[in-house]
Amino acid sequence: MSYAGFESRTLRLDDAAAYTDTLNAIAEDIGIGDRLHADSALLEWQEPGFDLGNSSVGIFDSEGVLAGYAIFWATSEPPVRPGLRWGVHPKHQAAKLADGLLDWGLTMAEGVIPRCPPEARVSLRSAAFKGHAYAEAVLRGAGFSEARSFFDMEIVMAERPQPPPFPAGIVARPYCHESDLPILVDVVRDAFSDHYGHIEQPFERDLEMFRHWLDNDPYFDPEMVIFPVDEGTGEAVGCLLGLTQDYRDPTAGFIDTVGVRRAYRRRGLATAMLQHSFAMFWDRGKRKAHLDVDGESLTNAVALYERAGMRVYRTHVVYEKLLRAGFELAKVALE
Do 124 and 221 lie in one domain? The reply is no
pLDDT one-digit tens code per residue, 59-111:
999 999 999 999 999 999 999 999 999 999 999 998 889 999 999 999 999 99
Q: Residue 63, Cβ neighbours under 10 Å: how many?
A: 6
Q: What is the mean pLDDT of residues 258-284?
A: 96
Contact predicate 124/108, CB 8 Å: no
Regarding whether 159 and 136 lie in a shared domain, the answer is no
Residues 302-309 have a mean pLDDT of 95
Tell whether 173 is covered by a domain.
Answer: yes
CB 242 within 8 A of CB 225: yes
| pLDDT score of 154 more than 90 | yes
Total of domains in the chain? 2
Share of the chain above pLDDT 70, in %: 99
Domain of residue 95 covers 7-143
Backbone angles phi and psi of 326, in degrees to 5: 165, -165
235 and 303 share one domain: yes
Residue 134 lies in a domain: yes
Record the pTM. 0.94
Could you say which of 80, 108, 143 is where a domain stops? Answer: 143
User: Does a structural domain hold residue 229?
Assistant: yes
- Between CA 72 and CA 126 the distance in angstroms is 10
Order of all β-strands in the sheet with 56-60 = 7-9, 56-60, 66-73, 83-88, 122-129, 311-324, 145-156, 288-294, 252-260, 238-243, 220-226
- Residue 174 shares a structural domain with residue 299: yes
331 within domain boundaries: no
**pLDDT over 90 at 335, yes or no:** no
Measured between its terminal Cα atoms, the distance across the chain in Å is 45
Are residues 137 and 158 both part of a single domain? no
Inside any domain, residue 1: no
Closest CA to 82 of 54, 115, 53, 43: 115
Query: Which residues fall within 8 angstroms of residue 277, CB to CB, at 6 or more apart?
Result: 224, 226, 240, 242, 253, 255, 258, 289
| Residue 329 covered by a domain | no
Regarding whether 163 and 296 lie in a shared domain, the answer is yes
Q: Are residues 58 and 137 in the same domain?
A: yes
Same domain? For 98 and 125 the reply is yes
Q: What is the CATH number of the domain that holds 276?
A: 3.40.630.30
In this prediction, residues 45-63 reach a mean pLDDT of: 97
